[in-house]
Amino acid sequence: MSMIRLVLSVLLIGVAGCRQEAPPPAVTVASPEALRAHSAEFEQGVFEVTDGVHVAIGFGIANSILLEGDDGVIIVDTMETAESAQAVLAAFREITDKPVKALIYTHSHPDHIGGARVFAEGNDAIPVYAHRDVVRNMEKTSIELQTAITRRSLRMYGSYLPEDEHINVGLGPRVDIHDGSTISVMRPTQEFDDRLEQTVAGIRFELVHAPGETEDQLFVWLPDRRILLPGDNIYKAFPNLYTIRGTAYRDPRQWADSIDAMRALGAEYLVPSHTRPVVGAARIDALLTEYRDGIRYVYDQTLRMINQGLTPDEIAARIRLPAHLADADYLAQFYGKPTWSARSVFAGNLGWYDGNPSTLQPLPPDDEAARWAELAGGLDALAQQVVDAQAAGEHQWALQLSDHVLRLQPQHAAVREARIRALRALGEVEANPNARNWYLMAARELAGEFTLPQRILTPTPEMLAQMPLARFFDGMAVNLDAEAAAETVTAVGFEFTDSDERYTYIVRRGASEVVPVLRDDADIVVRVSAQAFKEMLAQLRNPALSLVRDFEVTQGSKLGFARFMRLFQSAETAS
């Protein structure tokens, strides 16, 4: 072995084997009062950034940005609902009556695309710019994961909390979604992979793929005026490298690289899609540098601790931003948290297994709860431990212990009350609005004040018409009741009268297969318009009435088809 290789080997062994035992540095703790002060970021209004650039803030969780050109305007991001979009458009129309010549989606999250058709003002031919992956990602969320994302989002954003309990949502005053809200998305017409340069209404702009909060994120650069629109890769809060409502892995390396690409531009105006704009090249460079450093610090130090053999729980207990980053205005923990981010980095790089053999094949949760009760001296004794812990102010411990009791006896009155009190106590002192809202929402749910719906947004028929049929079959597949279909082997053919498409849906003992042809061996064949089929699955039409009125059975029986459709139960129906 050469001397260089020997020295390198020794260094690598030393780095891998060294494990810091010093306690983690002190935490800079925000407070609910600081979160209330943060609400100033979302003062409602339309603000002029510079000539011809206006941003609507506080009308919902996200901003919408108006770029005024010679003979028209460009709208960047279109709010979460048609209703919030109407309010923003009315405010923009007080500034200019020039027609909207183009829409730009910075990414696929619903709060940036939900009101597009409102801004189009009836012009279905308007170009809509987006990264190529936007459609795939927005359809996955709206169909396959709709129920989970809806309910988790309602908890995270505190949607059912009373005004005196709800402060803000970190990136905006609230999510402007409620019962009866509608969405009116338009599918992108101008898609790109890496970079696209265009001129619309005399405005020259560049769209640059910049993965970060989403894989389909882009930033908008106006080179002639040095104006940067970073989408959701920058906002005035520690970034959601992981969001507790649930998300695919967000790669911090890519996010930091995207910020570096923006740093290199030397922007003089920064107009994020959340929180307020920033003016001044030096100030923008400083905050972008701090932001990327905060992201890379959490990523790099998490991997360092992974290599030291620490588990996600151990890493989360140790990860802390250094003081100069923890005190940075744009890294206050009003949205993401380094602890959550570190857990996501672990899972994103190594998967769910933490390396501890006791977690490789753990006891089922009900069995573990029974063992805890036995260890405590019986269920009543364990329940008393919960009550005593909460009374002593040990709210997190009471919360964790209550998990076991309520698995064994879900209606245990004293433990339910102790859990509600613990959740409220944790929420009242929490400065991160995502955590705060989740605690307080969970307390009210457990108290029986409300039941979260399966869906709160209502898609329009026009939106459904734009979505491909294949995605609706994907939605059926994730709603198949495998137990009910355990002995079922059948094939159902679909002939769509208005789209000339044919599909066969095969159920094979709880498993699904969908093929884009009408198979000769189909047991049942139905004819229906694609629009009626989509509207039935989206619950715009009563399923029972739709089966009677809209579906023609050309092979097999309508009763057999009805039995087939009953195999697909939404989360709301099944609960």
Chain CA centroid to CA 398, Å: 29
Q: Are 240 and 338 in contact (CB under 8 A)?
A: no
Pick the CATH number of 468-574 from 3.30.420.40, 3.30.1050.10, 3.20.20.70, 3.90.1420.10: 3.30.1050.10
Q: Please give the pLDDT value at position 22.
A: 46
Q: How many other β-carbons are positioned within 10 Å of the β-carbon of residue 262?
A: 25
User: Are 93 and 86 spatial neighbours (Cβ–Cβ below 8 Å)?
Assistant: no
Q: How far apart are CA 191 and CA 552, in angstroms?
A: 38
Question: Helix 413-428 and helix 379-391: axis angle, to 10°?
Answer: 30
Cβ within 8 Å of residue 156, ≥6 positions away = 169, 243, 244, 245, 434, 437, 438
**What residues have CB less than 8 Å from 82, skipping those under 6 apart?**
114, 115, 117, 118, 181, 182, 183, 184, 460
Per-residue DSSP letters for 130-150?
EETTHHHHHHIIIIITHHHHH
What pLDDT sits at residue 242?
96
| Domain definitions of the chain by residue range | 32-292, 363-429, 468-574
Cβ(98)–Cβ(73) under 8 Å?
Answer: yes
Q: What is the per-residue pLDDT for 1?
A: 47
Q: Are the C-beta atoms of 393 and 399 separated by less than 8 Å?
A: no
CB contact at 8 A, 218 and 231? yes
pLDDT computed for residue 7 by the predictor:
39
Query: What pLDDT score does 458 carry?
Result: 76
| Residue 488 DSSP symbol | -
32-292 and 363-429: same fold?
no
When the candidates are 3.60.15.30, 3.30.1360.120, 3.40.718.10, 3.40.50.1820, the CATH number that belongs to 32-292 is 3.60.15.30
Residue type, 240: N
Supply the DSSP string of 79-98, one letter for each residue. -SSHHHHHHHHHHHTTT--P
Architecture of domain 363-429: Alpha Horseshoe (1.25)
pLDDT by 10-residue block (mean), the chain, 575 residues: 42 42 52 95 97 98 98 98 97 98 97 96 96 89 83 96 96 89 92 98 98 97 98 97 94 98 98 98 98 98 98 97 96 96 98 96 97 97 98 98 98 98 98 97 97 83 88 94 96 96 97 97 97 94 95 96 92 50
